[in-house]
Amino acid sequence: MSIAAKFEIEYLQYLDAEGKQVRDDLPAFAQDLDHMVELYKLMLSTRVFDAKSIALQRTGKLGTYASCLGHEAAHVGIGSAMKPEDVLAPSYREYGAQLYRGVRPREVYMYWGGDERGNDYQNEPARHDFAWSVPIATQCLHAAGSALAFKIRGEKRVAVCTIGDGGSSKGDFYGAINITGAQNLPMVAVIVNNQWAISVPRKIQSGAPTLAQKGIAAGLYSIQVDGNDIIAVRKAMEDALERARNGEGGSVIEAVTYRLGDHTTADDARRYRGEAEVKEGWAKEPMKRLRNWLVAKGVWDDAKEEAWKAECDEWMDNEVNAYLETKTQPVSAMFDYTFAEVPADLAKQRDYVLSLESQLASKKGH
């Protein structure tokens, strides 16, 4: 019997769980130790931000929040590999990538606090990125559409989307990677495989040995990387972005990591996963391995760590205060930004609500 096709999935790792190098061919960016320190500092900033976010939610100052604990290497690796002109279509927990591209914590808090102005990023290059996407996998189609536009315009830009392991089973994801392969679009899809789709474990989400191989069916270059190793994530991203930018097609990258916290603050992961599994996840977490590597290289120590944490605390205090001091929008705002010309029924509702608001204000005045 003849064989129609064969494929294999490469696995990429530079640092093991203890922060020891497992290969000597470090990419150029990783040989720049000052740059690696800056990446570690952003990962640490992201973790401080995440802890503060959960504290805000627990004290009633923030709505439901999706933690990124344990994802720092994957997310910072994605964001730091992108060029300013590229476009990011995130899901709802890729804060490390967004912070790298200029999103401010106060904007994240506005979003999770129910204020859509949080989606209006003020800094470049994040200003031309997509907003957070809670509907699962729809952002992949947005990225594919952007990639198609880049190709039509002849722009050397790449669209990047992120998706979870569970989300990679959605039709939106398959549709996005299929059109990327069929039309040779400049798109990179990153599956951040944290092993749990809320309470559904990876082992029953898919029978495939890897999630990366889903890209094979679409005709895309596909690779699995250690998602707790920022060097591996960044290297795979740089290679994929370069191929896409040069017209060589899209890629699917599976970054294997672990969700150390709950799915969101509305979840209690203790109900469906055991302590031993979480303990194993902590043993492989991304911060420890990069820190150990930097310490071994002589460019990081406890004093620098504590000094940076203090800076992060001050930074976060300023961001939290900016969020808490943001004035709420007027009631009319919910009607103002949906239609160019407000339909008669909505205009009637708006007038009614504004009259109630006026009545309440009048009563308070007396």
User: Annotated active-site positions, please?
Assistant: 259, 263, 272
CB 190 within 8 A of CB 91: no
**Helices and strands counted in the chain (H then E):** 14, 8
| E strand spans, the chain | 10-12, 87-89, 159-164, 187-193, 196-197, 200-201, 221-226, 251-256
- DSSP, collapsed to helix, strand or coil, labels residue 15 as strand
- Whole-angstrom CA distances from 357 to 66, 348, 362 are 33, 14, 9
**How far is 19 from 13, CA to CA, in rounded Å?**
11
For residue 324, the one-letter residue type is L
Element (H, E) at 178: helix 171-182
SS (HEC) of 229-250: CHHHHHHHHHHHHHHHHCCCCC
**How far is 312 from 89, CA to CA, in rounded Å?**
26
Closest CA to 49 of 86, 96, 81, 2: 96
**How far is 123 from 100, CA to CA, in rounded Å?**
11
